[in-house]
């Protein structure tokens, strides 16, 4: 058992030494860490050691600070067992001591046998308390591990292709507030000897790579004070997410870039592989993570032109690749403006900018410079599409990276500038159409989901909040959005669907009005009847009685 650390406080040196000898006589389980002369000195001692004691034995009446005040002030910061020893046999002191949290109160002169008996009882209580504290700490640690695992699983879902993020609910509430930085780690071209690797070899290497990334992220998080997560994407790629709390946002980008270099260095050192890392721009809201994913994937395409074993930073993408063939400032600016126009699906503006871009290429001093500039524009087109949720030539389930490689090969096959322009124009038009289609689909999706949910719950309690929660939107904004997309309010749509359902049910001449009313969400049959007549022009009973008459229709009910 770890020794029970005891602090003794009494302003009389003789009594203080006597209590110290009594504690030491109770056995090796006890350790006197200090014996001090007043409460102020004892409180300073506790602050200096951040607590660090299990039992505080103190006198009541002392100069500077009395024992009761010492207990009260110290317990604001630290956990310990207090015991009062005093020569004042006064009920008020005893009552105050108990109120201040003292677990025991002994009178001077202290009876040795009684003191040892009390200390034996305290030893058991302190041991039990330590065990409870360990259990609480372990439970907290396990809860932290489970939370981390749950968070990592959520992040893995979000960065997996084809996952509908809306089905995850309010998942961001499980994460800390702050700014986030997403990084994409991908294996470069494999060494020749990798062709001889077995499935077991790859399993071992993948496990090693995952552990290296996790260890670097964990160590980096401790060093920088940031919070970090890492998880496997596919067999050859990994993801890293860093979070800077609201008060520590300054060095997020710098820390991310430093961590990317550490990951690359560690993998090159401990495995036969190299990796490239794409470091995107920081995001203020974790709901923007899918966009950050697309941005990182698009950024990694730069590797096809600049080569692997590099760190690619979003902040540097406005500038073209380096070397003697570096694009001039005007070309770089045109490429950026073209990318922005594509992202906004402004076809005419993008076409005009591309035309200017190609015209500038005619002044280039070498074919290599022209090809490099064309490659840069192509990557800008693909990046605009990927970051905006569109696709360029990705039909038929083809892989995005393969689509980029094929487009680059098409540029390589071009024999003159006009062919380069045609290829870039084709890819640009595909990108704009893909972005437009993605936005049309995005616009339809929440409304269609809401309508489907409403139709499935016509007999239940339908409120604006419940419908908005289903599509993960703010209720007020959802009402405006629904009206804008459909031309009718949510309430009108719900009522119309209920009336149409009621019409179907009332087509049965044996249908009971109360049952029909409940099935379409109205407990009050009279209210239902009044509402039905407003919409159909006839009462529910009249509609049911005439259901067999082919001339009775919804349209006639309004005439």
Residue 557, pLDDT > 70, answer no
What pLDDT sits at residue 552? 44
Which tens digits make up the pLDDT trace of 344-373? 888 999 999 988 888 888 777 677 777 778
- Predicted confidence (pLDDT) at residue 145 exceeds the cutoff of 60: yes
Q: What is the separation of C-alpha 216 from the centre of its chain, rounded to a whole number of angstroms?
A: 20
232 in Cβ contact with 206 (< 8 Å): yes
Predicted local distance difference test score (pLDDT) of residue 359: 84
At 263 the pLDDT is 94
Residue 104 in this model has a pLDDT that exceeds 80: no
Q: Tokens for 273, please give them.
A: 């592989």
- The per-type count for the chain, helices as H runs and strands as E runs, is 21, 10
As a whole number of angstroms, the distance between CA 126 and CA 81 comes to 8
- How many Cβ atoms are within 10 Å of 179's Cβ, its own excluded? 20
Rounded Cα distance, 36 and 339, in Å = 73
The four Cα atoms 367, 368, 371, 373 give a dihedral, to 10 degrees, of -110
What is the arithmetic mean of pLDDT over 394-398? 45
For residues 42 and 318, which has the higher predicted lDDT (pLDDT)? 42
Q: Tell which wins on pLDDT, 24 or 441.
A: 24
Q: pLDDT at residue 396 above 60?
A: no
Please spell the DSSP secondary structure of 165-199, one letter per residue.
Answer: GGGG-SGGGGS-SSEEEEEEEEE-SPPGGGGG--H
Residues near 284 by beta carbon (within 8 Å), at least 6 away in sequence: 179
Per-residue pLDDT tens over the stretch 409-418: 777 777 677 7
pLDDT band per the 50, 70, 90 thresholds, residue 554: very low
- Which of 243, 251, 188 lies closest to 217 in space, CA to CA? 243
Q: pLDDT at residue 163 above 60?
A: no
SS3 category, 158:
helix
pLDDT of the residue at 340? 85
Q: Where are the extended beta strands (E) located within 16-126?
A: 30-36, 55-59, 81-86, 104-107
- 3-state SS record for 422-480: HHHHHHHHHHHHHHHHHHHHHHHHHHHHHHHHHHHCCCCCCCHHHHHHHCCCCHHHHHH
Which secondary-structure segment (H or E) carries 72? helix 67-74
Residue 238 DSSP SS3: strand
Rounded mean pLDDT, 480-493: 82
Alpha helices in 75-229 (DSSP H): 91-99, 112-158, 199-224
Residue 365 is predicted with a pLDDT of 65
For the chain, percent of residues with pLDDT exceeding 70: 84
- Residue 166: pLDDT band (50, 70, 90) is low
Cα 337 from Cα 322, distance rounded (Å): 20
Query: To 10 degrees, the CA torsion angle through 141, 146, 151, 157?
Result: 160
Least confident span in 29-33, 301-305, 429-433: 301-305
CB 112 within 8 A of CB 68: no
- Predicted local distance difference test score (pLDDT) of residue 415: 61
242 — pLDDT class (breaks 50, 70, 90): very high
Task: Tell me the pLDDT tens digit for each residue of 504-526.
Answer: 998 888 888 899 999 999 888 88
Which of the residue ranges 125-129, 274-278, 440-444 would you say has the lowest mean pLDDT? 440-444
pLDDT value, residue 264:
94
Q: CB–CB of 519/540 below 8 Å?
A: no
Does the predicted TM-score (pTM) go above 0.75?
no
Long-range contacts of 286-291 (CB under 8 A, 24+ apart): 286/172, 286/175, 286/180, 287/172, 289/155, 289/158, 289/159, 289/180, 289/182, 289/241, 290/158, 290/165, 291/387, 291/389
* pLDDT of 558: 43
pLDDT at position 170: 63
Which domains are assigned to the chain?
4-134 (3.40.50.2300), 175-317 (3.30.70.270), 318-456 (no CATH), 474-558 (1.10.10.60)
pLDDT at 553 over 60: no
Strands 275-279, 311-313: pairing is parallel
pLDDT score, position 295: 82
Q: What is the mean pLDDT of the chain?
A: 81
Report the pLDDT value the prediction gives residue 94, as an integer from 0 to 100: 65
Higher pLDDT, 315 or 51: 51
Between 398 and 493, whose confidence is greater?
A: 493
Helix residue ranges, H only, 232-366: 252-270, 289-300, 303-306, 329-343, 347-361
pLDDT of residue 250: 62
Banded pLDDT at 555 (limits 50, 70, 90): very low
Residue 359 structure tokens? 């015209």
Cα(211)–Cα(207) distance, rounded to whole angstroms? 6
Average pLDDT of the segment spanning 38-66: 89
């Amino acid at each position: 058992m770890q020794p029970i650390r005891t602090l003794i406080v009494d302003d009389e040196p003789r009594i203080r030494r006597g209590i110290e000898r009594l504690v030491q006589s109770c056995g090796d389980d006890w350790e006197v860490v200090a014996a001090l002369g007043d409460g102020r000195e004892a409180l300073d001692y506790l602050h200096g050691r951040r607590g660090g004691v299990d039992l505080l034995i103190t006198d009541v009446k002392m100069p500077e600070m009395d024992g009761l005040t010492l207990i009260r002030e110290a317990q604001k910061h630290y956990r310990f067992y207090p015991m009062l020893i005093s020569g004042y046999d006064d009920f008020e002191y005893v009552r105050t001591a108990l109120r201040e949290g003292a677990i025991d109160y002994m009178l001077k002169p202290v009876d040795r046998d009684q003191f040892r008996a009390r200390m034996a009882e305290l030893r058991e209580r302190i041991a039990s308390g330590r065990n409870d504290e360990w259990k609480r700490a372990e439970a907290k640690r396990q809860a932290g591990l489970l939370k981390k695992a749950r968070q990592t699983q959520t992040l893995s879902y979000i960065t997996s292709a084809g996952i509908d993020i809306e089905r995850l609910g309010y998942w961001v509430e499980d994460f800390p507030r702050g700014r986030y930085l997403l990084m994409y780690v991908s294996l470069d071209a494999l060494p020749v000897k990798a062709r001889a690797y077995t499935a077991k070899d790859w399993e071992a290497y993948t496990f090693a790579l995952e552990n290296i990334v996790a260890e670097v992220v964990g160590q980096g998080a401790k060093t920088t004070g940031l919070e970090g997560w890492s998880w496997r994407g596919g067999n050859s790629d990994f993801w890293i997410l860093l979070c800077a709390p609201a008060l520590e946002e300054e060095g997020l980008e710098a820390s991310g870039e430093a961590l990317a270099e550490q990951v690359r260095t560690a993998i090159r050192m401990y495995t036969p592989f190299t990796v490239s890392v794409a470091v995107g721009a920081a995001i203020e809201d974790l709901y923007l993570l899918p966009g950050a994913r697309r941005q990182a994937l698009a950024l990694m395409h730069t590797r096809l032109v600049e080569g692997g074993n590099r760190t690619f930073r979003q902040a540097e993408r406005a500038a073209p690749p380096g070397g003697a063939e570096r694009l001039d400032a005007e070309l770089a600016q045109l490429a950026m403006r073209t990318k922005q126009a594509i992202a906004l699906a402004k076809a005419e503006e993008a076409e005009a900018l591309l035309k200017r871009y190609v015209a500038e290429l005619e002044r280039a001093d070498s074919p290599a410079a022209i090809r490099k500039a064309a490659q840069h524009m192509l990557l800008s087109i693909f990046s605009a599409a990927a970051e905006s949720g569109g696709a360029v030539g990705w039909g038929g389930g083809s892989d995005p990276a393969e689509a980029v490689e094929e487009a680059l090969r098409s540029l390589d096959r071009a024999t003159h500038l006009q062919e380069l322009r045609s290829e870039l124009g084709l890819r640009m038009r595909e990108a704009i159409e893909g972005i437009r289609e993605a936005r049309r689909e995005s616009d339809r999706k929440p409304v269609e989901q809401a309508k489907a949910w409403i139709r499935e719950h016509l007999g239940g309690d339908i409120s604006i909040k419940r419908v908005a929660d289903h599509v993960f939107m703010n209720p007020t904004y959802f009402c405006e959005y629904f009206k804008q997309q459909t031309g009718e309010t949510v309430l009108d749509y719900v009522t119309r669907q209920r009336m149409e359902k009621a019409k179907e049910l009332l087509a049965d001449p044996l249908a009971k009005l109360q049952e029909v009313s409940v099935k379409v969400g109205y407990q009050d049959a009279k209210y239902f009847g009044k509402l039905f007549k407003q919409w159909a022009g006839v009462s529910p009973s009249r509609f049911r009685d005439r259901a067999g008459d082919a001339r009775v229709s919804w349209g006639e009910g309004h005439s």
